[in-house]
Amino acid sequence: MRTATEQAQNTLPRLQKNIVYITATERGKKEGYIPKKSKGLEKEHLQAFISDAPDSLFLVKKLALIFGVFGAMRKDELLKLQTDDVQDLGSKYLVTVKASKTHTNRIFTIFRIKISCNS
């Protein structure tokens, strides 16, 4: 009778001797390897986009940026957002994010302010 580990080893595909397999940890050890770093958005970039981009072309993207970044919303939460979830309170908007991954409702506020890029 074979043990469970022997059965598992027999079911795994056999490694060929002439192929070199490199794991993720070994890649960083190779000489001359430089990891790729993604460039992040700076506060100035966000402010410039919101204030300078024409609303006629970029209004939806501006709203997604404001809700996604400042409301810390996930993409599925953005997709499920309804007009009833946003309440206009005069000088601010009250946004209710329905239960999603965390199974709890969240509420955040977006204030109407003038953005200045000269700060």
Q: Which residues pair with 35 in a beta bridge?
A: none
In this predicted model, what pLDDT tens digit does every residue of 60-111 receive, in sequence order?
Answer: 899 888 888 888 888 888 888 899 999 999 889 999 988 777 788 888 888 8
In this predicted model, what pLDDT tens digit does every residue of 18-56 receive, in sequence order?
Answer: 565 556 555 556 677 777 787 877 888 888 888 899 999
At residue 119 the predicted structure's pLDDT band, cuts being 50, 70 and 90, is very low
Q: Is 100 exposed, middle or buried (0-12, 13-18, 19+ CB in 10 A)?
A: middle
Q: Could you tell me if residue 8 is inside a domain? A: no
Q: Could you tell me if residue 50 is inside a domain? A: yes
Count of Cβ atoms closer than 10 Å to residue 106 Cβ = 15
Q: Could you tell me if residue 116 is inside a domain? A: no
User: Which residue matches tokens 């994010």?
Assistant: 97
Q: Could you tell me if residue 53 is inside a domain? A: yes
Q: Could you tell me if residue 9 is inside a domain? A: no
Nearest Cα neighbor of 81 from 102, 66, 67 is 67
Domain count, the chain: 1
Tokens representing 119 are 């700060």
Q: Could you tell me if residue 74 is inside a domain? A: yes
Q: Could you tell me if residue 60 is inside a domain? A: yes
Residue 50's contacts (CB-CB under 8 Å, 6 or more residues apart) are 62, 65, 66, 115
Instruction: Considering only residues 16 and 48, tell me which one the structure prediction assigns the higher pLDDT.
Output: 48
* Domain range enclosing 70: 43-111
Distance (Å, whole) CA 1 – CA 11:
16
Q: Could you tell me if residue 55 is inside a domain? A: yes
